[in-house]
Structure 1
Amino acid sequence: MALHRLLVDDFYNDAYKLIAIHCRLPDYRLAYLLNHSLGLNLRRKDDDLDFEYLKSSYSIFEWDNKFQYVTWNLVSNVCKKEEDSLYSSGTLFQKKQKVLKTFNLIPEYKEVDYFIKISNEINNVNERLVLNKLQNIPQIVTSYAVNPLKLKSRDHLIF
């Protein structure tokens, strides 16, 4: 009897480009600058990306260009949350202290502030042109292309 196997990795073969952005602006301000310089129409989605039972959440902006069959996503890579610190119960002072913890959507790129994900079906987006326009925005420190196939946590980019 023949044995048939189904490889799950073959299903997710989505063609997209990924651009890393180093920028200390708030997400809404960066989305405005991208809309203005790249001619996009990014809008914040109603729900943020939540991981590990609301342990961390990341803002996401999206524009679905139906005329060119391209979906643009701007997603934050950094989530900062204030949590209670752990302390010993046998201490003299029982004051609770807050600790600021930082989580990353893509842990391999901890220094990156935002990612632009460009999902295009017919491969009509010129990545070099997009990078050149991003470099012309003075508030962006740097931007560069990232190969999504080399990411260990590329499953976090499925949305």
Structure 2
Amino acid sequence: MAKNKLEITYDYDFPLWALNANAKPYKLAWSINQELDLALTKVENLKIGFTGGKSLSIVNYNDINEFRAIRLLRNRAEESEGQFDAFLVPEMKNFDYFIVLENESQTLDENAFFSKIKEIPFVQFAIKVNIKSLKSRDNLIF
């Protein structure tokens, strides 16, 4: 009997920025909203399930419209039972938050966007991450 194998390839064609910020998620989201005139709102936590009943619960803020989606994700998972690793991207434990920018229009200048984020007083450090170099990049697909 012949066996079929399903191969799935994901598109990681979106900018990912890692931030160090000494602030709670709601305070960072509010500051980004004020600085960039966005509407990041708290939505249900992302639940990432793994084999063996293990899972992560990640704080998630979104601003989604017709042409773009901006997500603010906390790297450290909230406390929950069955949790095995407390980070969304374990190889980047030094960073507190990630910003995922999915832009279908040419109206958003990515460099200007992140220059303004770096100006927020409690954002200590922000860098662009090469997604293809991350081992746990599949955790960013949802």
TM over 0.5: yes
Q: 1:49 aligns with which of 46, 50, 55?
A: 46
Gap runs ≥5 in structure 1 = 84-100
In the superposition, the TM-score normalised over structure 2's length comes to 0.82
Contact map agreement 1:15 1:121 (CA 8 A) in 2? no
SS where residue 16 of structure 1 aligns? coil
Q: Which residue number in structure 1 is paired with residue 19 of structure 2?
A: 21
Quote the sequence identity (%): 31
Aligned mates of 1:36, 1:18 — CA distance in 2: 21
TM-aligned CA deviation for residue 102 of structure 1? 6.5
Contact map agreement 2:75 2:98 (CA 8 A) in 1? yes
RMSD: 2.5
- 2:134 is equivalent to residue 137 of structure 1: no
Give 1:58's aligned amino acid: I
SS where residue 59 of structure 1 aligns? strand
- 2:117 is equivalent to residue 120 of structure 1: no
Q: Which residue number in structure 1 is paired with residue 131 of structure 2?
A: 148
Matched pairs, number: 134
| Gap change, CA 1:8 and 1:80, over 3 Å in 2 | closer
Q: Which residue number in structure 2 is paired with residue 65 of structure 1?
A: 65
Contact map agreement 2:58 2:78 (CA 8 A) in 1? no
Gap runs ≥5 in structure 2 = none
In the superposition, the TM-score normalised over structure 1's length comes to 0.74
TM-aligned CA deviation for residue 6 of structure 1? 6.9
SS where residue 71 of structure 2 aligns? strand
Aligned mates of 2:80, 2:136 — CA distance in 1: 24
